[in-house]
Amino acid sequence: MTVPTWDEYMAPSLKVLSDGEVHRTRQIVEAAADLLGLTDEERQILIPSGQEQYRNRGNWALSYLSRVGAADRPARGHYRITDVGRKLLADHPDGITEKHLRALSGDPNAPHTWKAFPTTTPQAEAATEEESVLDPEEQIASGVARINDDIAGQLLTRILALEPVFFEQAVLELLMAMGYGGAEGTATRTQLSSDGGIDGIIDQDALGLSRIYVQAKRYGADNTVGREAIQAFVGALAGNQANQGVFITTSRFARTAIDYADSVATRVILIDGERLTRLMIRYGVGVQVKRRIEIVEIDEDFFE
């Protein structure tokens, strides 16, 4: 039995969306499965989590179509085709592949966008040549890493779609989740009109004797934070008689900015978009656990 792979769901999904209306995820996946001619038997195949395989693959297809701008999500669990999606479907009506999606970015190595794509179709039951040299635990670790890469890209997309104040608050919540602020500390977002280059302040103790000053800049992936921005932040820290601060951005830092931060007496930590999303996933900010996997081994004591 040969069932459609995840990428084979993309063209029929766009065909379902081609009417320009907003559709629910479940409706799109079901209609795409109909276009692919899935049988009742094929729809009953389950993956280890217990979910129907065709739903899982259809959902992945929609996720990647959304990430490349071929479909947007006006509401949770709802999709609508975009002009990019219409052109993609018109250019490849008989099938859309990973290669076609990569071509949309102009940079197949762009961070947060393409590294989550598997090198082959993600069929749970088929081992790729690479997987054949990995033990089962390594395969699980590889799969989790690939999922996290995908979620990292989605986190940045969501952050960039919202107002800057949301990002500033999210950054403070992340630092508190990391343990800064202690048991009785607090995090405060400064007023936009008078922040003086400071977007947030974390009191690490109840009396506020130790403080961390934060600046959060929400930039697109093509933006690079230069030395001037870090100099301005250091100046803002000096104006607040502070000796430590964290500068967080959704983009990346220029080499000159990194070198400058390392050279000044004030302790300045720089966190770029890649590290930001990694920390958000690690500390559970903006994400939730979908499923836990337990790995067992023989209890040698039991057999003694």
For 35, the enclosing helix (H) or strand (E) is: helix 25-36
Distance CA 101, CA 67 (A): 10
Q: Of the ranges 57-66, 121-130, 254-263, 295-304, which is most confident?
A: 254-263
Q: pLDDT-derived band of residue 295, with 50, 70 and 90 as boundaries?
A: confident
Let me know: does 216 contact 225? Beta carbons within 8 Å. Answer: no
Backbone angles phi, psi at 206, to 5 degrees: -60, -30
Task: Tell me, yes or no, if the two domains 6-106 and 164-282 fold the same way.
Answer: no
Q: Average pLDDT of the chain?
A: 84
Sheet strands (E) in the chain: 23-24, 71-75, 78-81, 186-189, 200-203, 211-217, 224-225, 244-249, 252-253, 267-271
- Taking the domain 164-282, which CATH number applies? 3.40.1350.10
Q: Of the ranges 175-189, 211-225, 259-273, which is most confident?
A: 259-273
pLDDT over 70 for what percent of the chain? 86
Backbone angles phi, psi at 10, to 5 degrees: -70, -50
243-277 residue pLDDT tens: 899 999 999 999 999 999 999 999 999 999 999 99
> Is 176 in a helix, a strand, or coil?
helix
Q: Is the pLDDT of residue 117 over 80?
A: no
Q: What is the pLDDT of residue 271?
A: 97
Fold classification of 6-106 (topology level): Arc Repressor Mutant, subunit A (1.10.10)
Q: What is the pLDDT of residue 248?
A: 97
Q: Is the pLDDT of residue 11 over 80?
A: yes
Q: What is the pLDDT of residue 61?
A: 92
Q: What is this structure's pTM?
A: 0.68
- The domain spans of the chain are 6-106, 164-282
Q: What is the pLDDT of residue 261?
A: 96
- Identify which of 227, 224, 175 has the alpha carbon closest to the alpha carbon of residue 199: 175
Tokens of 112: 């947060």
CB count within 10 Å of CB 210 equals: 13
Q: What is the pLDDT of residue 76?
A: 83
Q: What is the pLDDT of residue 116?
A: 46
Let me know: does 281 contact 260? Beta carbons within 8 Å. Answer: no
Q: Of the ranges 113-117, 203-207, 261-265, 294-298, which is most confident?
A: 261-265
Q: Which residues of 178-192 are buried (b: 16+ CB within 10 A; e: fewer)?
A: eebbeeebebebbee
Q: What is the pLDDT of residue 1?
A: 56
For 260, the enclosing helix (H) or strand (E) is: helix 255-263
Q: Of the ranges 23-37, 97-111, 184-198, which is most confident?
A: 23-37
